[in-house]
Structure 1
Amino acid sequence: MAVSSFKSSSKAELPYSLEREIGTQGLRKRIIQQGSSWLTPFPGDEVEVHYSGRVEGGLDFDSSRDRGTPFRFKLGQGEVIKGWDDGVATMRKGERAIFTIPPELAYGEMVSPPMIPPNSTLIFDVEMLSWSSVRDLSGDGGILKKIIKEGEGWSTPKDADEVLVKYEARLEDGTLISKSDDGIEFHLSDGYLCPAIAKAVKTMRKGEKAELSVRFSYGLEHGNGVTKSDCSFPPKSNLSVHLELVSWKSVIDVTDDKKVKKKVIKVGEGYDRPSEGSLAKVVYTGKLEDGTIFESKGSEEPFELMCFEGKIHEGLDRAITTMKKGEKALVTISPDYGFDNAVSKDFPKSATLLYEVELISFTKEKPFWKMETAEKIETCERKKEDGNMLFKNGKFLFASKKYEKEIIFYYLQAVKYIEFDHSFTDEEKSQANALRISCNLNNAACKLKLGEYVEAAGLCTKVLELDPFNVKALYRRSQSYIRTSDLEKAEIDIKKALTVDPNNRDVKLEYKKLKDKAKEYAKYQAEIFGTMFSRMAQLET
């Protein structure tokens, strides 16, 4: 009987006999067997315990040990007396403890069961056997998840990922609504069957199995995995869903606007990825949505390319810089991203492009801080020439990025070497400043071609801070100002450029454009004001 178990637990025999108070309402706990871990259950977890209970100063009134069946309940859900909810929440697996529960945390003035008088203090000998994690995924009890089998690793799917799950959904009375023994694949952002499934899957690890308790407000969505034959169930039906996350494929939004997406087919090695300027070896095939192949590289031996050199579609280039060595992926490029002249023009520009690509290997550039002084400047010069070549080939966006990379690469890192590294000679410092001016000017030319006039003007201003009489900077900033209709500033720049170089043909032509633009603007203003005054005169009469 449970009474004897209480008597055998004398304080002299137990090393963990120190009693402590839990909370502020008089609940006390004395550990008589230490647990095997540091974890304790959370509210909502389904716990399994053995217990014996008696009234203080009286005999036992209940014992799961006598019945030979452990007692199960959901912690913190009001399924047991408050003293149990508060006390069991402090227990570890394998722990056994004596709880002294005051009437306020037990049955109070009630008589329940008949053997417990009103206002009784109760003594329970409780042993924590195990618990199943139950999580309130919706925060309102609408979706409760109990883990049946732990998954592998630590990562969980993200909203954009494509998951493969097996499931079985039933009503509370056991009626089968829908199931998939072979598994169903879908994007988490699209959902499947009911909102609860997508919400739960985002908390699961590979191979994890779980049981969901779903209220009707998070229940079935007709037309999303539910057939017409399934629609005979009551409209406000709670569900029980057995769910297994078999696997998933990570989907990366490469451009942060969903115009270039990458789905990982095979996970790569390590953590490193290629960057701009890396030498990459790849194998890829470009297809249209109907399966038509429009491009294929590396079938016999890997195709070698320098990242962001403009040799392949820019969207694919950007996707490759998110890959790891050995990774295989499917890259989807939306027509909204824009047509790229690195791709064949034998199909409509409105086509969605699909690239199956594998990154065989890559090598990165030598770190800047490892370079010798001359090597640093030589590297920057080479990158500038790469940008010039891209510009000549009409790849203005690639060229602009090359110059921006150059400026960041040099300006942010090399300036400190110029200022503090005595290995730079006066000639090398002069070369460095000339390089900064050249890159800013070239990038301004790219920005003008791309229609980014404000950015172009800003780059020219940086040049003029170093060289106030630089004709190219004055000329290109004037072009920017003309296109943003800032005609007064444009005139100041163009006149200054003519003062420095009166015979410069391009500057003279730009000055003519400026004067024509000014005349057009004056005529436009005259028409606007004339119309306005005419209407005002009509109103007065």
Structure 2
Amino acid sequence: MGGSARHSGVLGRDNPLGQSQFQRLSQKMLDISGDRGVLKDVIREGAGDLVTPDASVLVKYSGYLEHMDKPFDSNCFRKTPRLMKLGEDITLWGMELGLLSMRKGELARFLFKPTYAYGALGCPPLIPPNATVLFEIELLDFLDSAESDKFCALTAEQQDQFPLQKVLKVATTEKDLGNYLFRQNRFYDAKVRYKQALLLLHRRLVPAEEQHLVEATKLLILLNLSLVYLKLHRPSTALRYGEQALVIDQKNAKALFRCGQACVLLTDYEQARDFLVRAQKEQPFNHDINNELKKLASYYRDYMDREKEMCHRMFASRENGSTVGEH
């Protein structure tokens, strides 16, 4: 996030009034807690709705103590996004209040007084007692998983009372949650979210004129299910979902590629070649597809060599048996 450079620039050492760094910074910050325990300064505006309670948020953040130009904890300095659920994964009260004041894409700076941060005890040895801390938080995205969970808990009859756009929104939320879990290598949990999304769409009776909206969302989910089952080492299931995606779009390169990968793992090399050649036809310069075809050629050569060796041994054994019989 480049937080250390921005931090040192804002909290410069020149101080003719004898104020501390955080005192000077706090003078231009907005009080969002009502008691000046959590102060906020927006660096970059976000867009859309505010984060909702119980949402899952994707954030980057870094934390600083006064007079420090680097984050106080390397584990706290999140150069890569982290998915967290409000009310469960966030331990600082101030951070939760801060996130609830943010919009997607927003980058903001917060000052947390001790009661909203690490309290009277601090967090030895890094955080001293009664420490005010500065956090820079970037909200990359958030998903209202609570809304989705409530909808999924309804019966099929109750869900049918809602408009199609509501069902598509919940299915997309489930898919996106699955994507975040997938990126954290939580493949089983991702699979559960993807299957829930697919179930919502299967339950729905859709007028013909709106079917294309459902098919477009379903295609993405089927592609993700095919991939996650490859990661779970279940190629036959991955192949089944890939083929379902091809029913929707028979020229979809990702679906063809997933099916080809599954067939390679199943050692059905002829079928794998068929899928991969079709995928290459759709995307001739796709690096992954071309590499998979090269690997397939190598696997096939090894397979044929083993077949020849097995045949050689079999016929050699028969010839030896015939010789013994003649004598």
Q: TM-score with structure 2 length normalisation?
A: 0.51
Where do 5+ consecutive residues of structure 2 fail to align? 1-53, 55-85, 90-148
Q: 1:364 to 1:375 in 2, by over 3 A?
A: closer
Deviations 1:473-524 (A, max 9, x none): 1101011001111111111111111111111111100101110110000010
Aligned to 2:267: 485
Instruction: Please say if 1:406 is aligned against 2:197.
Output: yes
1:304-453 residue pairs with structure 2 within 5 A?
304=88, 364-365=150-151, 367-411=158-202, 413-414=203-204, 416-419=205-208, 426=209, 429-453=211-235
Paired residues, what number?
Answer: 176
Give the partner amino acid of 1:516.
S
Residue in structure 2 matching 1:504, options 286, 294, 310: 286
Give the partner amino acid of 1:456.
A
2:310 partner SS: helix
Write the distance in 1 (CA, Å) between the matches of 2:249 and 2:176: 22
Shift of 1:430: 2.8
Instruction: Please say if 1:518 is aligned against 2:304.
Output: no
Shift of 1:372: 2.7
Write the distance in 1 (CA, Å) between the matches of 2:196 and 2:161: 18
Write the distance in 1 (CA, Å) between the matches of 2:217 and 2:164: 14
Bigger CA drift: 460-469 or 430-439?
430-439
2:285 partner SS: coil
Structure with greater Cα Rg: 1
Aligned to 1:168: none
Aligned to 1:38: none
1:7-46 residue pairs with structure 2 within 5 A?
none
Write the distance in 2 (CA, Å) between the matches of 1:482 and 1:464: 18
Q: 1:418 to 1:406 in 2, by over 3 A?
A: farther
Give the partner amino acid of 1:495.
V
1:417 partner SS: coil
Give the partner amino acid of 1:399.
A
Deviations 1:121-158 (A, max 9, x none): xxxxxxxxxxxxxxxxxxxxxxxxxxxxxxxxxxxxxx
Write the distance in 2 (CA, Å) between the matches of 1:475 and 1:444: 10
Write the distance in 1 (CA, Å) between the matches of 2:174 and 2:307: 47
- Please provide the CA RMSD for this pair: 2.2
Instruction: Please say if 1:475 is aligned against 2:257.
Output: yes
Q: Larger relative contact order (C-alpha < 8 A, sep ≥ 6)?
A: 2
Aligned to 1:136: none
Shift of 1:461: 0.7
- The answer as to whether partners of 2:257 and 2:279 remain within 8 angstroms in 1 is yes
Aligned to 1:102: none
Q: TM-score with structure 1 length normalisation?
A: 0.31
Deviations 1:18-65 (A, max 9, x none): xxxxxxxxxxxxxxxxxxxxxxxxxxxxxxxxxxxxxxxxxxxxxxxx
Residue in structure 1 matching 2:315, options 533, 536, 539: 533
Where do 5+ consecutive residues of structure 1 fail to align? 1-278, 280-301, 306-362, 420-425
1:447 partner SS: helix
Deviations 1:206-254 (A, max 9, x none): xxxxxxxxxxxxxxxxxxxxxxxxxxxxxxxxxxxxxxxxxxxxxxxxx
Q: Give the percent of matched residue pairs that are identical in Structure 1 and Structure 2.
A: 24
1:23-422 residue pairs with structure 2 within 5 A?
304=88, 364-365=150-151, 367-411=158-202, 413-414=203-204, 416-419=205-208
Deviations 1:336-366 (A, max 9, x none): xxxxxxxxxxxxxxxxxxxxxxxxxxx8336
Give the partner amino acid of 1:417.
V
Shift of 1:371: 2.3
Write the distance in 2 (CA, Å) between the matches of 1:444 and 1:400: 10
Write the distance in 1 (CA, Å) between the matches of 2:284 and 2:206: 38
Aligned to 2:240: 458
Determine which structure has the larger helix proportion and give its number. Answer: 2
